[in-house]
Structure 1
């Protein structure tokens, strides 16, 4: 079974319901071989994934290079690729050690430098195009401008507008693991998309407070990442992580209760977690990081697992979801 395609931010390019997050093939936390990276992308394509997301940050450019190699030869008009701006990669004078302090098992060949200036944005896009071997970026996201909000709004965003007008960038977005600043961009700019990580899941619906209603009102497409909240909703157990830190006891207990309800309806918790964001009309795609063919195959299977309406009703009855939280239509 292949994943469905949804309208894109610009309304002209489709976003597949399931998106491939390429941080994993940038050696996030542990090495991945070139072959496994290529097989993961091939499996995604085979299952109908046509939206691929990467960033210079991921493996100091390794993710972009590997994604380029895996997509080479595939019809360019059939897939959407997004990358990000905000971190420039500067060559290190000498290669000493690895990049694990930043989360990636790669040699420290470069150092990252925050830069949301107009010049930095243009250079970042040019560097990404060279690593990707492409002549355009379908979606360019402002990447984690938490501490650079003013410069991102007054310098980086206008430069992305110029690049969009030139046809170098097809759509503009902002990608963050908070909902408040993206909401400001939806209100105050003409962005096309938001990549929201971890803030619209079965455990955390902060994106619903302001961002998602604003996005629906302004016609901004939302891509949801982190639906498993870095592992807790994939496999809730003692020692599981939430937002890359050990999960507090109360959250673990809540995740275990979610799992129990799902199992009572014959639904894996992973399937409910993947399907949940589509209850909101602003959500166009769910992004899942994958480092192997098996992981992407599992994600595709879970996304299409039948989820009965009774499951969502019980989650609300047990107050595991608020009464006003929108839920997907049943997939039986």
Structure 2
């Protein structure tokens, strides 16, 4: 009897998760993001040359012609696949760390603004409204023109420009959660505000945050590529997807593969992350599920 009882929860759990994990958006998102992520993660082991090995004898080799250069080469004879794998480290680093920094800062501000309210809530939200009114590209051009380009500066710029999204989202959740029965009960037991905020309110506000983080990582990869393409991102000597697009724009008609394959890497990574974000939204908010 005990063995049969212990097997029932496991069977129910398997029936609950199997249709969700086998959903097209989840499978496609994990495949696209995971395969590119693994290629980038192990790029240092797979391509020890660092993406800077020059072979002028093999310059502008078309794709699928040479076994040594499956995706072809650029005007300096550098392997396109190698530079895509190594350049992805910049995009993934910017996307992940900028989203992590923005969600940390925005969550802390939103929690305290929504819970304590008052003059600080008004001041922070009005400041957030002003910042949201500023176009990101205009802000990026102004700031980077003053402090100069660089990987760390791009990450800091994205954190500063995006924390308000998380702050507003968390604040709106806290405003409704702080009046719920379980929060009122925690107050009646005499729990300190810090315990109520981080143990009772924050866990119930994580769902929308997880979805927004997933979508923002994809958006930040696009932003980093755009800034680098315009010469406002990372150092041009560092392999990056946006830099590869910028280098290959003069060879679009004669050597299309220089821009097409880095562009495909950006598109597939962003598509995979967006699919995962849609899947998470459907699991966390079934009532908002799209057909």
Q: TM-score range by the shorter chain?
A: under 0.3
**Higher Rg of the two aligned structures:** 2
Query: Which structure shows the bigger proportion of residues in strand conformation?
Result: 1
- Taking structure 2 as the reference length, the TM-score comes to 0.26
TM-score (norm 1): 0.24
Q: Identify the structure with bigger relative contact order (alpha carbons < 8 Å, sequence gap 6+).
A: 2
